[in-house]
Structure 1
């Protein structure tokens, strides 16, 4: 693996009382802000810190900044058992060694990931006390790898929105500007990771729900190819568009998580058969600072905004393109006019049946019997009622659904044909056409996420820098099916050359 900095000296500090609580020397502690998984693992291997200290340090930050101070309001529930889990993992490390690079690493889950020991709420008061009988498949993989689930994060209620407000969790704020929203629907996870409430987070993406909040919070987010990661045990919206994936401060952290969760067949999610044998042998080992050299990337000009506000984003992306040229990329402007004419939006036609199946999985303790009952009772934010009501009664056996679903393959074919014609390694565009929106604004028309969501193709969003008034901008790269290793490596090369990741000043 090229270019990975294993040096942890910047992460080590002294004098924090959390060390005493964890059984280490009173002079031993860790500066967790911006620390990477590799840095933390090196510190734990040296005995300079342990998982219990990390848990305490992140809990301290959550207590300081989530409901107090700037009151980011990213967290719905803290895991009361996190310290006990960390202690057991520390003891296991001492006797047997680490399970993986995630051993002892505190993580945050979007609160639509089932956890058998904590409520899984989807941000809704309806599910406030709903504890599923089993972990989500991805939750289980992360636990087996030794990750410590520190907390569950707020999301746009039932994942149907892009500003991260919910009846249970309220409004999550953007830590870079408290008057702006963090994006959504995985905005709680993104705001938490940006504010250093944990090392890495997990989100889900139906339309743009990993990449939009990553862009709005100066983070890295990946939407994997449909079928590469499991969706069983995630509170769903869409049978054919939901995917789970990581949100991280660095590309290397994202790659480490992908090495744990990708390409594993889940018997409860038939889509994972598509990803069988398609994962990289190691996403972490694929990282290469020279990976962009000699590559050809298409700039999708159709996906740049034309409004005055969009110009701030466009300027940042133009600089990013110039930086990539210096790294050896050949760019060509492209348009794909067919994108505008192919209707591949199936989400609302899949919502009711998919949601009912999830409710059935909760057994007799489910808080509502059916999607219809939930819609009729309206115990959720009225702002999402139009989405839910318009989904009621739609089915996946209608002619309209079959035609629209088949358009997904048409859309993918059009994109891949353009890439073949021009010999492109990837396609580039802004993750969002405008900077983070003001609280309660949902500019669906400004998001670019549906291109990969509707086509089933993978895409990564990486920090591209900041506007003149300090708002984060994300750059998205899309490629062919199961090209995650390439996209991650491209993102890494750009990240290492530009170093745009900057923590928010409001949560020092």
Structure 2
């Protein structure tokens, strides 16, 4: 009888254990925090492998482990004090009626120049420390409506001024791929945070390269959308003629999903009237792994770094390999020139002309910050700013109103038409133009950066551009490849960059911020114990049960 019971136990426990192990494996495969995506978050929630509260805690753990400790990336200015309570609300909503939206419980890291109702908005400046604007930026409100969880606000170059993310409030953000190097700017805090997996979706702003430079330096996808596709309402401005806000993500699909949630008309941003009739129902519908087959792409060699610069030569070598990959994936690639390129690049950015006007208008429409500042002049008088930028602030404050400045009027009259005409000529018969997102790899902090000039074409024209990971230098430093297209043709750029991403798989997480304990869910559990019991039972039976003759 005992032998019979042992036999029954054995033949019952083995298949049960096997099935449970398979179930656990399926759940674990459905959610692994490292390099998590919107899809993997949704899969983990729907399978029951993980809750929103657990996901949120895991991301808070990563920020705690790696932002001020470990490699000390210094990417985050503020974490949302309500993060776990918001997660609990999302869990309750999910249990009652399913996901709130397509981004249910997706953790978002915002550059700290996006207004948020539940966290201060500082632009990195001590002058705006503790500044609650009382509302969400348009894009932030849209993210919340889609179910996203606004987890943290990221460091930046103060008031988005430069390609190094240093601010009086947040210090300097470092690159997770090499912590003595630049994370880029001005959205470098967002770039480092998303590269290190402090969140799934990041949002930055771009006036002259500030999404694309840090995305390139952190092996991310960065989207500078067409001016007018996404609202700038509720974003601290630098120069509204050139400003955009957009996603910074680890995958092209996540960038497309982020666009789905945030684009569209906003009466508080008149430029978005141009988006009416231009927005597809779903940007992910254009993602095609074979999207490069038959695509026609123009390489703009004039936007590559100088061969005489050893750092630029490293980037050029990576980009040349990326171009070879495009050809192998079916693209027809040819070298092209942009008419009047030297003249286009001779124009300055408009931040020196528009910053005072646009910032003063932004502050006038909001409550008074704790410091009492209401204008750029007040900020200068307060001394609560990055000392290195003092000259830049003073010179901008001393400028006349841009509408009365003949130099400004000439730029806004001549530059857009010249740039758009030249780019459309270069794009004739082509789907996109490509060039290095930055002409050299991430620089050692304190040393010079050969940024190149390609970053100017999108803001000068208003046309969209997407940077995508193109590989790494021999030293392991990320390089980005930028695709530029026609106004509102984000669908084509997403198709091309998705096919390139899927065909190459260049993105790799930084070694400095490895997986923490518990980030694969669930951990081996009851099924593993049952399998051990079953194995033990099998050994007992094997040893004690008489062998039948063959």
Q: TM-score band, normalised by the shorter chain?
A: over 0.9
Please state if 1:212 is matched with 2:240.
no
* Closer/same/farther in 2, CA of residues 353 and 442 from structure 1, 3 Å limit: farther
Please state whether the residue corresponding to 1:468 is helix, strand or coil: coil
Q: Contact 2:101 / 2:145 at 8 angstroms: preserved in 1?
A: no
Structure 2: gaps (5+ residues): 1-22, 515-550
Q: SS of 2:454's equivalent?
A: coil
Name the structure 1 match of 2:401: 395
1:319 lines up with 2:328 in the alignment:
no
2:423 — aligned with what?
415
Higher relative contact order structure (alpha carbons within 8 Å, sequence separation ≥ 6):
2
Aligned to 1:34: 35
TM-score, length of structure 1 as denominator length: 0.92
Aligned to 1:94: 95
1:335 to 316, 337, 345: 337
Rounded to whole Å, the distance in 1 between the matches of 2:26 and 2:438 is 32
Check 1:175–1:494 CA distance in 2 against 1; reply closer, same or farther (3 A cut). Answer: same
Q: Which residue, 351, 375, 380 being the options, matches 2:355?
A: 351
Name the structure 2 match of 1:272: 272
Q: Counterpart of 2:204 in 1: which secondary structure? A: strand
Over the aligned positions, Cα root-mean-square deviation in angstroms equals 1.7
More helix by share: 2
Runs of at least 5 residues in structure 1 that lack an aligned partner in the other structure: 1-7, 15-28
Equivalence map 1:232-381=2 (5 Å): 232-262=233-263, 264-306=264-306, 307-342=309-344, 343=347, 345-365=349-369, 367-381=372-386
* Contact 1:224–1:484 under 8 Å retained in 2: yes
In structure 2, distance between residues paired with 1:330 and 1:187: 34
Q: Deviations over 1:203-248 (max 9, x none)?
A: 1111100010000000100000000000011011012111010000
For residues 415 and 447 of structure 1, do their structure 2 counterparts lie closer, same or farther at Cα, with a shift above 3 Å needed? Answer: closer
Q: CA deviation at 1:378?
A: 3.4
* CA deviation vs aligned residue, 1:395-450 (integer Å, no higher than 9, x gap): 22122111101212221111112212xx1110000000000011134636535211
The residue number in structure 2 matching 1:451 is 457
Instruction: Determine whether 1:430 maps to 2:436.
Output: yes
- 2:13 is aligned to none
Structure 1 residues 133 and 331 mapped into 2: Cα distance closer, same or farther (>3 Å)? same
What residue in structure 2 maps to residue 477 of structure 1? 483
Work out the CA distance in 1 between the residues paired with 2:474 and 2:27: 33
Query: Is this contact kept in 1: 2:128–2:369, CA < 8 A?
Result: no
In the TM superposition, 1:176-215 aligns within 5 A as 176-215=177-216
Q: Taking structure 1 as reference, are residues 173 and 32 closer, same or farther at Cα in structure 2, changes over 3 Å only?
A: same
Length, aligned pairs only: 484
Residue 385 of structure 1: CA displacement? 2.2
- TM-score, with structure 2 as normaliser: 0.85
Shift of 1:12: 5.0
In 2: Cα distance, 1:476 partner to 1:318 partner: 13
Q: Secondary structure at the match of 2:483?
A: strand
Tell me by how many angstroms 1:65 deviates. Answer: 0.6
Shift of 1:265: 1.1
The structure having more radius of gyration, on CA atoms, is 2
User: Compared with structure 1, are the counterparts of its residues 388 and 103 closer, same or farther at alpha carbon in structure 2 (3 Å cutoff)?
Assistant: same
Mapped to 1, the partners of 2:351 and 2:86 lie a distance apart of 38
Residue 149 (str. 1) matches residue 153 (str. 2): no
Q: Deviations for 1:338-379, whole angstroms, at most 9, x for unmatched residues? A: 122132632211111100011112234463121122234332
Distance in 2, matches of 1:239 and 1:31, equals 40
